[in-house]
């Protein structure tokens, strides 16, 4: 029962580098989300998707891009890494509309130096 | 804008003490309510949820929460905490209007000391 799988678990990037955080789910959920978690700030929504081919911005989309070519995968792209993007990133998915239970991945801890 | 407030940033309790964590959301309408727990170094896991029916819901590990519609609140309670309850707790709200994703509070860190 894999659920939501994120890779990598940890990554250190230099300023200006790019990378893709991978997220895949095997529950056939329509909705997928990317959140970032910073100490004392809770979870902030970066992007979300209501189905393959459809994405929308969340609260903090600047500096990130997403795509949703399949139901299973929802990668998050950082094009020009900045120290402000140091954070823990969580991918999540849910079956129904956005107001239903979200299932989370294990997270990716990213440090930009 | 829709928002969720958690009143306590950090709560420190002794083992066997009772716990109540506050959660309020910004405005009404039909809502789904959730409490998630995040143990140190782990991802968020669902503790309990409310969609409809009895406003007092019971979750895992002895936790419960009460939905008070008139107060836009969904407070989390546990009669007697254990050291293993040390974690961060997040309240989340889903409004039944459109496709808006869950909105999370900023979290409350609970430290239980022996």
Average pLDDT over residues A30-57: 92
Is the pLDDT confidence value at A92 over 90? yes
Query: For position B29, what pLDDT does the model report?
Result: 79
Is the pLDDT confidence value at B97 over 80? no
Judged on CB neighbours under 10 Å (0-12, 13-18, 19+), B35 is buried
Query: For position B65, what pLDDT does the model report?
Result: 98
pLDDT in tens, A75-90: 999 999 999 999 999 9
Residues of B within 8 A of A99 (CB-CB) are 31-32, 94-96, 100, 102
Query: For position B98, what pLDDT does the model report?
Result: 63
Biggest distance spanned by C-alpha atoms of chain B? 46
Is the pLDDT confidence value at B69 over 80? yes
Q: Is B3 on the interface with A (CB under 8 A)?
A: no
How close A99 comes to chain B (CA, Å)?
4
- Neighbouring CB atoms inside 10 A of A9's CB total 10
* Closest residue on chain B to A50 (Cα): B99
Find tokens 């970066």 and name the residue.
A46
What CA–CA distance (Å, rounded) separates B14 from B18? 9
Q: Nearest Cα to B102, choosing from A75, A104, A101?
A: A101
């Amino acid at each position: 029962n894999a659920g939501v799988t994120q890779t990598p678990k940890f990554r250190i990037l230099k300023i200006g580098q790019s990378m893709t955080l991978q997220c895949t789910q095997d529950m056939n959920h329509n909705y997928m989300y990317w959140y970032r978690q910073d100490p004392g700030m809770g979870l902030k929504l970066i992007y979300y998707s209501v189905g393959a081919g459809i994405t929308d911005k969340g609260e903090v989309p600047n500096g990130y891009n997403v795509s949703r070519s399949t139901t299973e995968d929802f990668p998050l792209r950082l094009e020009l890494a900045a120290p402000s993007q140091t954070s823990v990133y969580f991918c999540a998915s849910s079956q129904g509309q956005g107001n239903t239970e979200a299932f989370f991945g294990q997270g990716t801890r990213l440090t930009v130096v | 804008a829709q928002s969720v407030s958690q009143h306590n940033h950090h709560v420190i309790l002794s083992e066997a003490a009772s716990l109540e964590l506050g959660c309020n959301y910004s405005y009404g309408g039909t809502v789904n309510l959730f409490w998630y727990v995040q143990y140190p170094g782990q991802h968020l896991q669902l503790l309990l949820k409310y969609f409809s029916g009895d406003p007092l819901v019971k979750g895992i590990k002895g936790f419960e929460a009460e939905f008070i519609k008139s107060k836009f609140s969904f407070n989390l309670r546990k009669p007697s905490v254990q050291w293993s309850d040390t974690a961060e707790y997040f309240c989340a709200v889903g409004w039944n209007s459109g496709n808006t994703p869950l909105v999370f509070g900023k979290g409350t860190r609970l430290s239980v000391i022996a």
